[in-house]
Amino acid sequence: MNRIMKMIMFPVLIILLLTAYTPLVYAGLAGSTVLSVSLANYDPNPAIAGNTVDVRIGIQNIGGSSTNDLMMEVVPAYPFELVPGQSAVQDVGIVQPYQTSDPTANMKVVMYHMQINRNAPAGSYQLKVKYYEAGSTDVTEQILSLDVKSKESAEVIHIDQTMLVPGKQSSLKFTINNVGNAPLRDLTFSWSNDDKIILPVGSDNTKYIRYIDIGNGSELEYQVMADTNAVPGLYKLNLYLTYEDSMSNQTKTISTFAGVYVGGGTDFDVAFSDNSNSQMSFTVANIGSNPANSVSVVIPDQPGWSVSGSNSIIIGNLNKGDYTVASFKLQSSISNMTSQNGAARNNTNFQGRSMQRQTNSSSDTVHMQIAYTDTMGVRNVVDKYVKIGLQNMGALDGQTAMGRRGAAQQTSVLSDNMLYIFGMVVLVGVVVVHRKYKSRKMINPDFKMKDLFKHEKK
């Protein structure tokens, strides 16, 4: 019991002592000016790096004599700086002396609107202030302390793929950057497409990140595929990022979106189809996943081949899976050279040309170009090399030289008929002469063959 009484009496004695001493202190200051400068408050508390803060400074005169025209000046240093338009010096004016009934009644408050450097790490920072009476060289400095907390911030800054081909699996990467002044922890990222045209393959659409340091980033990769029946166009991806905000101890969510184009270019297959009526035909098929508009087929200038007439044909639009036929009056330059020779020489040269084509594989291959407009409105050109085949080359050479060989054959038949007629005439003449000789010999046994010709001369 005695111990409890002692514990109660001790604080009571301290309070009585201070109460008795306080009037003595104020009585000692009654004839002087004593200023007390302190940090009244600041908002927000703690201050946030990268944001502004309102600093309120309290000035109290605990002396007995008032001040004359008091000036207050703030001296900004890292990470603080005055907001543009704010003055570092403010005129406080007269500060009245203390009042025993209410010591804080004569307090004046000066406010400064300040900006905090966005790169400032979390910690406690000093703010220097000076105060003096106008025209006086007696300057007093005071240090105030403010707590600053780093601002956490993240952003999805980059998507590496902006176009997807329908039906083709592609890699899609998202980069998340820490653009704040504090590390990020326990992040969850996800994305979705309302149309369900673009979907992840082999995993779900959610990934987790444990930690991203200040100024660093994290890359998240998905395997995705666009629907093969997707209409070409721009599709919206909804992006969601959540992480723990250490300042408020609450989960912060960032919702944004990005666009990914589905469509693009396509591919073609070109094959030799037919060789008739002095024209070579080629089948052109759209084997890609996108339609092709304003398709044209061109045979550019190239060694070994020549085109009679136009070297370009417009075949219109080709949807995926469609095909059409393009025909050209296409001739081999080698066949044109050999068709100028005679029939016999033509056969010999054809054999030599076949041997040459076997050693030069490009002589039976045609370079073709497929020009088209893709779903994004971009004009593209696809190069194709189509193998004709030696047997089709032979047929082409035969058709080219057919007229010349026919004329040569007719000349040969005519020459053979003339020789036959001449032989028959000679044979008839010999028979007639022989019969005359035999009849003369029967009349005159001494008659000789040469006498027959002498008789004819007479």
Total residue length of the chain: 458
Alpha-carbon distance of 172 to 408, in angstroms, equals 70
Q: What is the DSSP letter of 95?
A: -
Q: Are 390 and 358 in contact (CB under 8 A)?
A: yes
Picking from 256, 257, 195, the residue whose alpha carbon sits closest to that of residue 226 is 195
- Written as one letter, the residue type at 247 is M
pLDDT in tens, the chain (458 residues): 455 555 555 555 555 555 544 454 444 445 566 788 889 899 988 888 888 999 999 888 877 677 788 889 999 999 999 999 889 999 888 887 775 556 566 788 999 999 998 878 878 999 999 999 888 888 889 999 999 887 777 777 678 888 999 999 999 999 998 887 778 888 999 999 999 999 999 999 999 999 998 888 999 999 999 999 899 999 999 999 998 776 667 788 889 899 999 998 999 999 999 888 778 999 999 999 999 999 999 999 999 899 999 999 999 999 999 999 999 998 887 655 544 444 444 444 444 444 444 434 457 899 999 999 999 899 999 999 999 876 665 555 544 444 445 444 554 555 666 777 777 777 767 666 667 767 776 777 666 666 666 655 44
Picking from 201, 185, 75, 198, the residue whose alpha carbon sits closest to that of residue 129 is 75
Picking from 108, 65, 63, the residue whose alpha carbon sits closest to that of residue 90 is 108
pLDDT of residue 16: 54
What's this model's pTM, rounded to 2 decimal places?
0.55
pLDDT of residue 360: 40
pLDDT of residue 394: 53
pLDDT of residue 128: 93
Using one digit for the tens of pLDDT, what is the confidence trace for 377-414?
A: 999 999 999 998 766 655 555 444 444 454 445 545 55
b/e code 424-434 from CB counts within 10 Å (16+ = b): eeeeeeeeeee
HSE of 288, CA atoms in CB hemisphere, 13 A: 20
Which 3-state string (H, E, C) describes 125-148? EEEEEEEEECCCCCCEEEEEEEEE
pLDDT of residue 118: 80
Q: Are 85 and 115 in contact (CB under 8 A)?
A: no
Which residues are CB-neighbours of 126 under 8 A, at least 6 positions away?
77, 143, 144, 145
Q: What is the dihedral of CA 62, 64, 65, 69, to 10 degrees?
A: 20
pLDDT of residue 187: 92
Alpha-carbon distance of 198 to 235, in angstroms, equals 8
The domains of the chain, with CATH numbers, are: 25-149 (2.60.40.10), 154-262 (2.60.40.10)
pLDDT of residue 296: 96
Q: What is the dihedral of CA 226, 228, 231, 237, to 10 degrees?
A: -10
Crossing angle of helices 390-443 and 343-359, in 10° steps, is 150
First-to-last C-alpha distance (Å) of the chain: 196
